[in-house]
Structure 1
Amino acid sequence: MPNDPFLLLGLSPGFDLAESDIEHAYLARVAAEHPDLVSGDDEAAARAAALNDARAALLNPETRARVLLTRIAGEDKDDSLPDGFLFEIMEVRSELENAAASGDQEQIKKWQSWADARQTEYIEKIRQQFAQLSDSPEDQEIRAIRTTLNAWRYIERMIEQAGLIGR
């Protein structure tokens, strides 16, 4: 896999990576690419940029899960979602948009809490799914992870669009 963040940073592929391990691996590698140390190496800036991208990908749990799943099962355009998910999300999105439009801080905080709780749930569910994944994963195991990731990403996008990220 070209520009594989795990390979670029020299980390063993896995979902449960400590932020400090990612940072340590990044700093160890990016120091060797610093422009002052590699003068005349036109590729150093590109390698440093690739390391920055790898760090960002692995620090984000959702992106890390997607990268890991791609390593395990390859790319896939499966966009399936859990049963009943779209109906729930349409209701939540409507209420969230109304709260944001009206500036109702109490409701906005309620939806921020909801979003935080859902994110925590998805991180734990993905953690468990990867931990239980067999050495030769079955299609149903891969589909279950993809479905969870699709739902998680859907919620992340909704939150970003509503302006609740960076709160």
Structure 2
Amino acid sequence: MLQNKSGLSQVFEDNRALLLRFLAARTRDIGLAEDLLQDVWIKITTGTQSGPIDNPLAYLYKMCEYTARDAHRSATRKLARDTLWSEAGSDFSAERRDNLTPEKIAIERDLLKLALSELEKLPDRTKEIFIDCRINEITQKEIARRQNISLSAVEKHLQRAYQVINKFRKNNDAGLD
């Protein structure tokens, strides 16, 4: 039985190439596999492991499997969300592009100012995460690293921002016609 983290770290180091190959086979992307393996390394060196581990290599493979699965789920949710977001945006711009008048442009500017003021009401961290993701096009994974929070926490902050935007859009649909 393995008793301490330094032992688990040693097993990780000894089997790094095998674990990387395992993740690369799961993700079919060596860059992503390396990122995920780094995430596993961070978890085993900073996490709180309680109790001894009977089979440390199996434990590490299971961590890699769960990390790959979480990354896949996150990527799937992001793709679905971004697809819906872009479809909504393309519908909006396609139907508005051809018949913009000065009056409609002024209304759109006013609505934009109102929407921005609604976003300003969000907590600072949520607002910053939303701007980094949607405006600065920083990946959610990078935002999580920069903010020192989990990827799911980043997604929850983005969901809050999207809820504000969707609520605003529902309440102001009359002004968009």
TM-score (norm 2): 0.27
Where relative contact order (Cα < 8 A, 6+ residues apart) is larger, the structure is 1
Pick the structure with more helix per residue: 2
TM-score, normalised with respect to structure 1: 0.28
